[in-house]
Structure 1
Amino acid sequence: MTISQLLPSIIAVGVAALLSAGIIWAIRPWLLQYALARPNARSSHRVPTAQGAGVAVIAATLLVAGTIAGYAAVPDLSIPPAIFAAALFIAVVGFADDIRSIPVVPRLLLQGAAVAAVLFTASDDVRISAVCPLWIERGLLLLAGLWFVNLVNFMDGLDWMTVAEAVPVTGAMVLLGWFGDFPMAATIVAAALCGAMLGFAPFNRPVAKVFLGDVGSLPIGLLLGWCLLQLAYSQLFAAALLLPLYYLADATVTLLRRMIRREPFWAAHRSHFYQRATDNGFSVLRVVSEVFALNVGLAVLAIASTRAQSAVIDVISTTVGGLGVALVMYRFSRRRPATS
């Protein structure tokens, strides 16, 4: 890839970071007055904290990605309008839920509408498998997309946690785009989201001054899910699984455990592995550092599997990544030995 092709994604990261940070700085006084997150059964914070910084993250992501897509002289840089519309719509749903809680069923229906808008406006030629009937594939993707949107929200329960997830994942996508293994449109979206999360990071550093809120976590899940779907459409299944593997494993295993125990899995709780870690003596910074390091490792494995183009390497990378995720989750579920 030439410098002229690299430049748009580099600009996207830098401009989105500055724009995100600037908007957060500007709106934080308003958030402190009108959008406080008060501690509940799920919370890791102990005092009311401003939430809603996701407004800045999503605004910066969409503005930067849209501007570059519209004006950069780079081929294949057409981002589907449905992505922007669905991200804005689901952000509004999240903002409403932040201010005044929306019941579970209407919330899921609205989220499902956003995911469906992305999937069902895509061309019929865009397929993962030509063998599976289109309506079945799209239906399964709708369920998967709805789950992914919510699991990002579920996992956004600790300072820097979503930063530790989104930055390595989007960073890996940008690198894959530079190698020519990832569509340029998705690369620009990933670069803008990476930059916006970097701009958010200083404000969310433990102890956080501001949270993303559902207005941020839901559309972040939608945008990440769409980018991962582009990997699947490109038949890069190992990379599409490896990049979000920790979030997928923690959220899915936790949900299944709660369902087996007949607990109200839709209610606020503190049984995710990363939450149990803080109850087991891990500091917040230690938890997010380990998650970040794990995600960097998963990103390296994803890139290696993509570059190798070998089924054997795919299996080895996925196995190693799965073992790494299992080890971290096991550590988080055990009491940390006291240090003398």
Structure 2
Amino acid sequence: MREYLLTLCVTAAVTYLLTGPVRKFAIAIGAMPEIRARDVHREPTPRLGGIAMFGGLCAGLLVAAHLPNVGKVFEVSNEPRALLSGAALIWLLGVLDDKWGVDALVKLGGQMIAAGVMVMQGLTILWIPVPGVGSVALTSMQGTLLTVALVVITINAVNFVDGLDGLASGMVCIAAAAFFLYAYRMWFGYGLEPAAPATVFAAILMGMCLGFLPHNMHPARIFMGDSGSMLIGLVLAAGAISITGQVDPDSLSLFFKGSERAAVHATVPVYIPLLLPLTVLMVPVVDLVLAIVRRTWKGQSPFVADRGHLHHRLLEIGHSHSRAVLIMYFWSALIAFGAVGYSVHSANGWIVLIVVALSAVGLLLLLMPRFTPRTPSWADSFVPPRYRRRRNTADTPGTELPVREGVSAPHASDNGSANGTGSAGTPTTTRVPAGATAIGARSRNW
């Protein structure tokens, strides 16, 4: 675990440190597109954040390759090299799109080429588990088509959800954390060596997202652009393909004391999170499907951008920018970790009950856009100002409140100036009795 944490921290640190210089570079070359009608931000913001994320990916792979235990993955498997090759292609395509713009069909072709490069180097789905049947081996053509489709769907799902500050990076980080827990359990819990590359990919992906988030939280100082969204989508898909298509059900049968068919049937809940990344990316995938249906119904191209995404709808019903992002985080974490928890304890019904209860809480939050939670006083220093409890500093007798120039204060002393200034025109301090409130003393935490 320590080596994975080291890989994660190095990736996050490199990404975080590179993002500042990348932002200056993006401004210098003019990678700051004009505000569009569907955009939420109101000021031109530089893109190309994917450059820093790709640097973090390279740093994470380099460090992992030189670690005693994790480094063995690079000796016995070609998947890390396949990931780096596909990531480099998709990253270059994203950089071109962020600076000059690339046609949607060209980007789709580039995504398929990047996926094909990974397939040629061995990162492909070899078989899939089917309940009641066992493992179904795929032909070379079937495995290639399924792998390419999975990569393209995941990339575009992440790209579509990248509409609010910190949304895509946070949701992918949540998905990567769920992948890591599952892959780590398969690798060290069952000793399945094919799960080792996916564990490394998930740790690196978490580092990429965590390193970029501080620069991308609302209000964002830089956007990841297509160079970042397509990159993290490809890395997430690579991890899912690696562990789902490479783990041999014959090895699983040793742990479940039965035939291969019985092992696959018994471990179907285990495969739920990673059979397809649609589980941990359920929210963006649903958004992707709805967008395609909506645009096709209107007679438009599925690649024409609009303001009908889920995060746009949250803003329209009254949620703030930060609140909409947190709600999307909540649903992503609930589905991702609920699926992983069910895969571990599928025989226990309490997992389902917890998910149902949390879903009810999520629906309540959706229906209360004006509700703002308040934290206790001892937690004020740990939360943003908007969530701190408003307090009247004049509740204590004898509290002295500064009164702004030009604003009168109730119960001001008769010998003082009405506008709160002395003879020299400087602000004075007015003693306010207990329970009184001075105008302008309201907290600015809103």
Partner in structure 2 of residue 46 of structure 1: 42
Distance 1:209 1:267 in 2: 26
**Residues 1:19 and 2:14 are matched in the alignment:** yes
After TM superposition, give the deviation of residue 70 of structure 1 in Å. Answer: 4.2
**Residues 1:247 and 2:242 are matched in the alignment:** no
Partner in structure 1 of residue 104 of structure 2: 104
Distance 1:281 1:65, change over 3 A: same
Partner in structure 2 of residue 196 of structure 1: 208
Distance 1:125 1:25, change over 3 A: closer
- Indicate conservation of the 8 Å contact 1:82/1:121, yes or no: yes
After TM superposition, give the deviation of residue 337 of structure 1 in Å. Answer: 6.3
After TM superposition, give the deviation of residue 320 of structure 1 in Å. Answer: 5.3
Distance 1:270 1:290 in 2: 18
Larger deviation, residues 125-134 vs 63-72: 125-134
Distance 1:123 1:244, change over 3 A: closer
Q: How do 1:229-308 and structure 2 match up within 5 A?
A: 229-233=241-245, 234=247, 236-240=270-274, 241-308=278-345
Distance 1:24 1:123 in 2: 30
- Indicate conservation of the 8 Å contact 1:177/1:187, yes or no: yes
- Indicate conservation of the 8 Å contact 2:27/2:46, yes or no: yes
Distance 1:51 1:134, change over 3 A: same
1:39 counterpart SS class: coil
Structure 2 residue runs of 5 or longer lacking an equivalent are: 129-134, 248-267, 373-446
Q: CA-to-partner distance for each residue in 1:80-113, whole Å, 9 max, x for gaps? A: 3111011011100000011111122222111110
Q: TM-score, normalised by structure 1?
A: 0.86
Aligned partner letter, 1:18: A
Q: CA-to-partner distance for each residue in 1:5-56, whole Å, 9 max, x for gaps? A: x111100121111111110122221112221132223321111101111111
Partner in structure 2 of residue 141 of structure 1: 147
Larger deviation, residues 109-118 vs 77-86: 77-86
Higher radius of gyration, 1 or 2: 2
Q: TM-score, normalised by structure 2?
A: 0.66
**Residues 1:221 and 2:233 are matched in the alignment:** yes
Q: How do 1:123-162 and structure 2 match up within 5 A?
A: 126-128=126-128, 130-162=136-168
Distance 1:61 1:124 in 2: 20
- Indicate conservation of the 8 Å contact 1:124/1:134, yes or no: no
**Residues 1:62 and 2:58 are matched in the alignment:** yes
Q: More helix per residue: 1 or 2?
A: 1
1:51 counterpart SS class: coil
- Indicate conservation of the 8 Å contact 1:76/1:185, yes or no: no
**Residues 1:163 and 2:169 are matched in the alignment:** yes
Distance 2:283 2:125 in 1: 31
Q: What is the percent sequence identity of the aligned residues?
A: 23
Aligned partner letter, 1:296: A
- Indicate conservation of the 8 Å contact 1:159/1:204, yes or no: yes
Q: How many residues matched? A: 327
Larger deviation, residues 31-40 vs 108-117: 31-40
Distance 1:75 1:164 in 2: 28
After TM superposition, give the deviation of residue 212 of structure 1 in Å. Answer: 0.2
Distance 2:242 2:105 in 1: 29
Distance 1:123 1:230 in 2: 6
Q: CA-to-partner distance for each residue in 1:105-130, whole Å, 9 max, x for gaps? A: 22211111001112243278832252
- Indicate conservation of the 8 Å contact 1:57/1:193, yes or no: no
After TM superposition, give the deviation of residue 136 of structure 1 in Å. Answer: 2.4
Distance 1:324 1:255, change over 3 A: farther
Aligned partner letter, 1:13: L
Of structures 1 and 2, the one with the larger relative CO (CA 8 A, separation 6+) is 1
Larger deviation, residues 137-146 vs 203-212: 137-146
After TM superposition, give the deviation of residue 72 of structure 1 in Å. Answer: 3.2
Distance 1:261 1:63, change over 3 A: same
Structure 1 residue runs of 5 or longer lacking an equivalent are: 1-5
Aligned partner letter, 1:203: H
Distance 1:266 1:11, change over 3 A: same
